[in-house]
Amino acid sequence: MTFKKNLFHTLSLSLLILSSGQSLIAQQTTVTLKADQPSGQISKHIYGHFAEHLGRCIYDGFYVGENSKIPNTAGVRNDIVAALKNLNIPNLRWPGGCFADRYHWKDGIGPKDQRPSVVNTMWGGVTEDNSFGTHDFLNMCKLLGTEPYLAGNTGSGTVQELADWVQYVNFEGRSPMSDLRVKNGQEKPWEVKFWGVGNEAWGCGGNMTPEYYVGEYRKYATFMEGKNLYKIASGANGDDYHWTETLMKGIPLNMMDGVALHHYSVPNWDKKGPATGFTEQQYFDTMKSALRMEELITKHTAIMDKYDPKKKVSLVVDEWGGWYDVEKGTNPGFLYQQSTMRDAMIAGATLNIFNNHSDRVKIANLAQCVNVLQAVILTSGEKMLLSPTYHVMEMYKVHQDATLIPVEVKTADYVFGNEKLPSVSVSASKDAAGLTHISVVNVNRNKEEEIQIDLAGKTYKSVSGRILTAAKVDDHNTFENPEAIKPAAFKAAVLKEGKLKIKLPPFSVVVLELK
């Protein structure tokens, strides 16, 4: 009896230890890197940007005018050009946004002193003098080494107006529009590939129903004639799956190259909260909204797959990012906000989602580039700073046009109150030089995360990396201290026997390079 009793206690203790161990393991994040199962290319165009005639994005942002004391090329700030070239930005969307369906492109060509002034009724009620127009934007894209993405006016414009714009910028032969382009100083066409057929047709672009917009799209797209045009339909707002279903059902696939999707990390549109000095509840809710991008892409993709199983039509997330209350003392219509480590979390986690869905997501545009919403660059007179979001996109540029490596992630949870979120987000790729890059984000505001990565299918000899983090989650760069937050070398990575172990501080982004 004693032997049996001791055996029972031993087995019970073993089960208790095993159960406890399993519980502990369940709380640790484990990642399996499937290096032997490459999964297609991550389009560089996922890393696109957005420049709207909104607040100080164009004027007093990108464009300061040729007579400015700030060093510029044809009125465009040289420091902004250099900073964006360092990101390898692949495309830049313009002139909106909601401004696009109020914009008449012929107002912005010809001698600048002869261009009409209009009121920007959408953003702040300020006077728009049209000194920055089609030539200015497309020549700026040349400076940046990026592809332009023009958003056409299908709201207050006409079919002829948009057809003329396509001909003006793209047609090389003799025609009324190409002759006008040459008269205005541009002999060769710019050959613009990406075209948005309206913007937010469900809202500021005309308050259309999806059924009505299908007819409008088909009409406008028919007369947008030219070679190699990539036509993008105005897509859904968040979880409006009926919109996507209606477009995919009603527009022939040979007439459409992309369907847009807009989603901002905003838990409450009526009370967005501050960009700095936010509570943990506000942080948690914002990250919950940001991580919802996974669900939105998955469900919209499932609808698109029904009508387009070969994935010929791209999902184009051409507006995404954080949106908060404007900074005190600024014009509410200018959408100027500070960018903190919270925004770095949004950027890192969202880009990981895009990478992992790169079979369908081919283009995306962070909103916006300079001085508006989740900007990568802020300016004040001659001063310029790079935001935490800028640094994430610079760290992640290694994924552009690289081959996706699938990852399987079992993550610990970030628990707040009665809710929880996955703490860790991961994506990985292999570049043309054969280097493997793994981007890892810990959105947990309070806890360091220990992560074990199983490097299945390939042997690596060395690991290096960079990290972006700070003392507080609402820390940010200022014009007085513009480099308070910037990437640093990451040394808490141990590579041994096919396993990679790392420790990520709270609210941090790491990009690892394996050789």
Residue 425 C-alpha from the chain's centroid: 16
DSSP collapsed to 3 states, 282-351: HHHHHHHHHHCHHHHHHHHHHHHHHHCCCCCCEEEEEEEEECCCCCCCCCHHHCCCCCEHHHHHHHHHHH
Catalytic pick from 200, 216, 394, 449? Answer: 200
* 394 counts as catalytic: no
Among the options 52, 147, 216, 319, which is catalytic?
A: 319
User: Which segments of 227-354 are extended strands (E)?
Assistant: 230-237, 258-265, 314-322
Packing angle between helix 241-250 and helix 210-223, nearest 10 degrees?
40
Instruction: Provide the 10 A C-beta neighbour count for residue 414.
Output: 25
Angle at 393 between CA 389 and CA 398, to 5 degrees: 160
Which residues are CB-contacts of 178 (< 8 A; sequence separation ≥ 6)?
A: 167, 168, 171, 172, 189
319 included as an active-site residue: yes
3-class state of residue 99 by DSSP: helix
Do the Cβ atoms of 458 and 450 come closer than 8 Å? no
Burial 207-224 (b: 16+ CB within 10 A, else e): ebebeebbebbbebbeeb
Catalytic residues: 200, 319
